[in-house]
Each structure stands twice: as C-alpha cells, then as structure tokens.
Amino acid sequence: MPTETPAPTSTPILTKKDFQTDQEVRWCPGCGDYAILSAVQQVFPELGIPREKFVVVSGIGCSSRFPYYMNTFGFHTIHGRAPAVATGLKLARPELEVWIATGDGDSMSIGGNHLIHVLRRNVGVKILMFNNRIYGLTKGQYSPTSELGKKTKSTPAGSVDYPFNPLSLAIGAGATFIARSVDIFQNHLRDTLRRAAQHKGTAYIEIYQNCNIFNDKAFSGLTDKETKDDTALYLEHGKPLVFGKNKDRGIRMRGTQMEVVELGGELSADDCLVWDETQENPALAFLMAQLQPPGFPIPLGVFRDVEVPTYEERVIAQMHTETERLGVGKLEDLLKAGDTWTVGEQPAS
C-alpha cells in the first residue's frame, strides 16, 4: 500500500520572546548589559537558525550572567576560560552556533592567554567583549582597560598601568573579524551583530558598555546627544571616512599616519581615506584602532573582515586525511603505543 511522504521540515519562525528565559535578570538597574541582551535577543531570531543550535558560553563577571538570560544551550564556565571551552565545543560540534559573552576583566586579564589563541586559530565562534573599563562584579577595581590615572578602590592614588587596547590586541593576534559598537546605539549594535553572525571564523566585537554604579559615564563623550555626532566615526566599507554633525571633517592618510582634516574649500570627501575592511594586511585596521580623543574621533563599525579557513575545518580535514591513510584505530592501541614502562621498574637499557 502507498506510504505518505513526510512533509519537509522547516525552521520555525522565532521571535525575541523565544530567546528570553524565566530567570530574573539580575544586573543593576540602568546597566548597559540590558541593552546588549536586548540586541542579541532581537538578532538571533533573524538568523534563521534553530534555537537548539545556539550555545552561549561565558566566564566570570557581570557580562557572564548572559547564558542564564538566553533561552539557548549555554555554559557558565570559570574565570577567563570561556574561549577554551568554546573551542572544545566547536571542535566537537562544528554545526553549532557558539557565542561567547565576556568582559574586559574576564578576557583581558586572567583570560588573555585563551583569548589570543582562539583569535589566532580562527575558531568559528563569536565573541562579545563588554568593555566598561572597570571590575563591576567585584565592586569597582580598575581593569586592564581602565585609563591611566584611574582612581578606584584598588588604585586610590590613580592607576599607573597603561591600558590595553582590545582591538589592537585582537588585530595583533590575527583576528579575521574585528568590530566595535556601543550598548545604547541599538541600530548600530544590531547591524554589527548581524555582520558577526555572517562571518565564518572568529568574530570579535568590542562593545562599549556603561557601568552606572562603578564607572558611570565612561563613554559620555561618545554617547551624549550634544557631542556624539562629532566624536563618532562610522566605518563603512567602500565609503570615505567623513564625520561631524555637518559632515565637515574627515580622515586622510599623511605618509604612514592618519590625520583629521577640515572639509570645504580645497578639501572634500574625495580627499579622505576610503575605508576597506577586507584588506588582508591588517596594518590599516591597526592604525584605525589607535584613534581616540582628544585628537581623533572614536571609530565604530567593522575594522577587519577577511575569510580564511577556520580551525575546526582544518582539524576535521586533517582527521579525515589521517583516517584514510591509517584507517580507524582503537583507543587502547593508542594508549599502549610508543615507549611504555611500569612505574617502579627501571626501563630496559
């Protein structure tokens, strides 16, 4: 008798609500983390990926509560080790969408070693680095991104440490996708998250995030309505670098350095540097990552987006090659291979 052909399966249409949990969101009222959470919960349903394919991995810190508030699979790991756990997961289950939520303390200090290696390997994970330039969870100590002279509970006379530049670190480690956004710039943040989701390898996003309790208004020059048009430089691929409320300033190259120029008269947007995020040589992206006030605006957007094979692709290809060459082995044979000896006995001479 004839059998019925099963109906083709399709990914159900998801909404922001599908990615919200029943957990009480326990960040301080007014924290920038709420805005980041909202942006991620809005973008995930747009990606057309089943919810069970998402995994959110975190370390320790305020940002690392993220997995509790995302209705996906997740790991709340230990301090600084989220990249290591995420790497293992992506190797074992390369079909999963693995996202990391971390902070400037979690990833730039104790987790710095793990961070640079996940970046250089180009593991197919997405890293959201919440940068509030302070240790929030432990109540206000200075962090690796705190500015020179920062007065905190642990540096009452002012920090004497030069701060890390997260994007410069990521570029130096060979990251293939690097971007920066701001917690309350919701449209820009969502666009940046979409771009990161499309990237095949490691995507690293620094997100300026306000800690209104221990480092309030750390980015006020960038976010205040009166100043933001003159302090933000939006990077758009293929377009000249022009900024200012009246689009009357731009960035151009002068030798090996960048400089701000006034537009009008002899200079126009055609004289400005045209942004190219796809350059294989990261030198220009590195120069852009150095720009900061008071002499320069703060660049926002995608600094680098290049395609190279991912770590998991290369590992899997190597495994297939070796399997074809050697065949399928046994774990017991592997454990007993090579030089072995019994503890307490002298090895044969």
- Whether 268 and 304 map to the same domain: the answer is no
105 alpha carbon, distance to own chain's centre: 14
- Whether 131 and 256 map to the same domain: the answer is no
What is the tens place of the pLDDT at every residue in 177-217? 999 999 999 999 999 999 999 999 999 999 999 999 999 99
What percentage of residues in the chain have a pLDDT greater than 90? 87
Residue 16 has pLDDT above 90, yes or no: yes
Preceding amide of 294 cis, omega within 30: yes
What number of CA atoms fall less than 13 Å from residue 9's CA on the CB side?
A: 2
Residue 325 has pLDDT above 90, yes or no: no
Residue 4: what pLDDT?
A: 63
Residue 337: what pLDDT?
A: 83
The total of structural domains in the chain comes to: 2
Region of residue 255 (left: phi > 0; alpha: psi -120 to 50; beta: else)? left
Mean pLDDT (the chain) is 94
Instruction: Point out the least confidently predicted range of 24-28, 44-48, 74-78, 337-341.
Output: 337-341
Determine, yes or no, domain membership for 342.
no
Please give the structure tokens belonging to residue 153: 């509970």
Residue 96: what pLDDT?
A: 98
- Whether 72 and 172 map to the same domain: the answer is yes
Residue 227: what pLDDT?
A: 93
Residue 340: what pLDDT?
A: 72
- Whether 165 and 262 map to the same domain: the answer is no
Residue 243: what pLDDT?
A: 97
Q: Phi/psi of residue 267, each to 5°?
A: -110, 140
- Whether 24 and 103 map to the same domain: the answer is yes
Contact of 101 with 83, CB cutoff 8 Å: no
Determine, yes or no, domain membership for 303.
yes
Residue 183: what pLDDT?
A: 98
Determine, yes or no, domain membership for 340.
no
Residue 123 has pLDDT above 70, yes or no: yes
- Whether 250 and 113 map to the same domain: the answer is no
Residue 270: what pLDDT?
A: 95
Name the band, by pLDDT with cuts 50, 70 and 90, for residue 133: very high
20 alpha carbon, distance to own chain's centre: 21
- Whether 194 and 307 map to the same domain: the answer is yes
The residue-averaged pLDDT of 129-138 equals: 95
Residue 324: what pLDDT?
A: 82
Determine, yes or no, domain membership for 76.
yes
- Whether 250 and 141 map to the same domain: the answer is no
Residue 177: what pLDDT?
A: 98
Residue 10: what pLDDT?
A: 67
Determine, yes or no, domain membership for 6.
no
Residue 152 has pLDDT above 80, yes or no: yes
Contact of 219 with 71, CB cutoff 8 Å: no
Residue 9 has pLDDT above 90, yes or no: no
Determine, yes or no, domain membership for 145.
yes
What is the tens place of the pLDDT at every residue in 239-290? 999 999 999 999 999 999 999 999 998 999 999 999 999 999 999 999 999 9
Q: What is the CATH number of the domain that holds 88?
A: 3.40.50.970
- Whether 180 and 259 map to the same domain: the answer is no
Q: Tokens 């996906």, residue?
A: 72
What percentage of residues in the chain have a pLDDT greater than 70? 96
Tell me the residue range of the domain where 253 lies: 240-274
- Whether 158 and 82 map to the same domain: the answer is yes
Determine, yes or no, domain membership for 147.
yes
Determine, yes or no, domain membership for 146.
yes
- Whether 88 and 142 map to the same domain: the answer is yes
Residue 346 has pLDDT above 90, yes or no: no
- Whether 159 and 30 map to the same domain: the answer is yes
Residue 157 has pLDDT above 60, yes or no: yes
Residue 3: what pLDDT?
A: 57
